[in-house]
């Protein structure tokens, strides 16, 4: 069922596990993530970037597809449909379109402006029962074309945003979007602990989950991370399985060119990746 992310993340923070946000790109992606969550009895968050929303012809299309798919597939685990790295305008559009959760990313704005816009969108989202994530301190790597390096957020700024009543908080702790460079220094647990100290019960969000070693993921969860975003890893496993299918010449055998056959190995590969992440994050069996 489609719900806001508030309750599932409060439970995760209290239970010391994390709920995965898996970004979706199309019907196959959505179906693979939903079926895996149901099979593992895990809560799940479907992430949609503004670019992916545009690709799928708009947020209304996405919301309608997700709602219908939850019904047709009899998905009973909690599912949140969440805007990823939303602009001010994009956040408003998703609230209108029927998303159950949004992220407003004002991290690139002057801090006072981030506070003002976050405050306004928190009030708007909450008036409709929608959960909201805000961001402090830009997260490194590429976010829809914007490239940064692994920064660390200021814990005092995190507290100011947390005190606005946001439901989950994304803060840079040296994490990066996309593949990690060989010379990456790892997560800053000192920063994470300092943020947790000031923001108390607030579920913290770890972006750029692809390529962070399992032991660092587990330590981050133990220190208050309750939501972990996974995007690139599903793309890599989908691409690898699809490439193997083509390279083996299977699209040339019989009706192997049928898109339902051509995309099947990739869809299965996404399921395997999602399963692996849910097991690592500890969300398996936590749907109730
Ligand atoms: Zn992100």
The b-or-e profile of 23-44 (16+ CB within 10 A means b, else e) is bbbeebbbbbbbbbbbebebbb
Rounded distance between C-alpha atoms, residue 266 and residue 235, angstroms: 9
261 C-alpha to ligand 1 centroid (Å) = 32
Q: Give the pLDDT confidence score for residue 149 in this predicted structure.
A: 57
The answer as to whether 247 is a domain residue is: no
Q: What does pTM read for this prediction?
A: 0.95
140 C-alpha to ligand 1 centroid (Å) = 9
- C-alpha distance from residue 249 to each of 235, 253, 254, 257, 262 (Å): 21, 7, 11, 10, 11
The answer as to whether 280 is a domain residue is: no
Residues forming the active site: 84
Domain extent at residue 165: 6-230
101 C-alpha to ligand 1 centroid (Å) = 15
The answer as to whether 250 is a domain residue is: no
184 C-alpha to ligand 1 centroid (Å) = 17
Q: Give the pLDDT confidence score for residue 48 in this predicted structure.
A: 98
The answer as to whether 276 is a domain residue is: no
Rounded distance between C-alpha atoms, residue 278 and residue 271, angstroms: 10
Residue 232: name the closest of 210, 206, 265, 263 by CA.
210
The answer as to whether 104 is a domain residue is: yes
148 C-alpha to ligand 1 centroid (Å) = 12
Q: Give the pLDDT confidence score for residue 189 in this predicted structure.
A: 96
CATH number of 34's domain: 3.20.20.70
Coil vs helix vs strand at 261 = helix
The answer as to whether 69 is a domain residue is: yes
Q: Give the pLDDT confidence score for residue 169 in this predicted structure.
A: 98
Q: Are 201 and 228 in contact (CB under 8 A)?
A: no
Q: Give the pLDDT confidence score for residue 139 in this predicted structure.
A: 79
Q: Give the pLDDT confidence score for residue 142 in this predicted structure.
A: 59
Coil vs helix vs strand at 22 = strand
The answer as to whether 277 is a domain residue is: no
Q: Give the pLDDT confidence score for residue 146 in this predicted structure.
A: 47
84 C-alpha to ligand 1 centroid (Å) = 7
Q: How many domains does the structure of the chain reveal?
A: 1
Q: Give the pLDDT confidence score for residue 10 in this predicted structure.
A: 97
286 C-alpha to ligand 1 centroid (Å) = 24
97 C-alpha to ligand 1 centroid (Å) = 21
Q: Give the pLDDT confidence score for residue 277 in this predicted structure.
A: 98
Q: What is the mean pLDDT of each run of 10 residues along the chain (288 residues)?
A: 97 97 98 98 98 98 98 98 98 98 95 97 98 89 56 94 97 89 89 96 93 94 97 96 98 98 98 98 96
Q: Give the pLDDT confidence score for residue 128 in this predicted structure.
A: 98
The answer as to whether 246 is a domain residue is: no
DSSP 143-196: ETTEEE---B--HHHHHHHHTTT-SEEEE-BS-BSSSPPTT-----HHHHHHHH
89 C-alpha to ligand 1 centroid (Å) = 18
């Amino acid at each position: 069922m489609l719900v806001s992310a508030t309750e599932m993340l409060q439970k995760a923070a209290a239970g010391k596990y994390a709920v995965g946000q898996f970004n979706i790109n199309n019907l196959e992606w959505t179906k693979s993530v939903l079926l895996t969550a149901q099979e593992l009895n895990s809560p799940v968050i479907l992430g949609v970037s503004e670019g992916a929303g545009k690709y799928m012809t708009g947020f209304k299309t996405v919301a309608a597809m997700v709602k219908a798919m939850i019904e047709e597939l009899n998905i009973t685990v909690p599912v949140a449909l969440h805007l990823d790295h939303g602009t001010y305008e994009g956040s408003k559009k998703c609230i209108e379109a029927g998303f159950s959760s949004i992220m407003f990313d004002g991290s690139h704005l002057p801090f006072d402006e981030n506070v003002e816009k976050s405050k306004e969108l928190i009030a708007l989202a909450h008036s409709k029962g929608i959960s909201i994530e805000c961001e402090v301190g830009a997260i490194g790597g590429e976010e829809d074309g914007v490239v940064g390096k692994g920064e660390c957020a200021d814990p005092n700024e995190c507290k100011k945003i947390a005190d606005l009543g946001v439901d989950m908080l994304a803060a840079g702790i040296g994490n990066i979007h996309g593949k990690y460079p060989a010379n990456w220094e790892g997560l800053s647990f000192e920063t994470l602990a300092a943020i947790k100290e000031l923001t108390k019960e607030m579920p913290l969000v770890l972006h750029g989950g692809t390529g962070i070693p399992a032991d660092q993921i587990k330590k981050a969860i133990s220190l208050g991370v309750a939501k972990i975003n996974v995007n690139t890893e599903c793309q890599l496993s989908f691409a690898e399985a699809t490439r193997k299918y083509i390279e083996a010449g299977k699209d040339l055998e019989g009706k192997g060119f049928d898109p339902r056959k051509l995309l099947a190995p990739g869809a299965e590969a996404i399921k395997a990746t999602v399963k692996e992440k849910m097991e690592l994050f500890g969300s398996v069996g936590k749907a109730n």
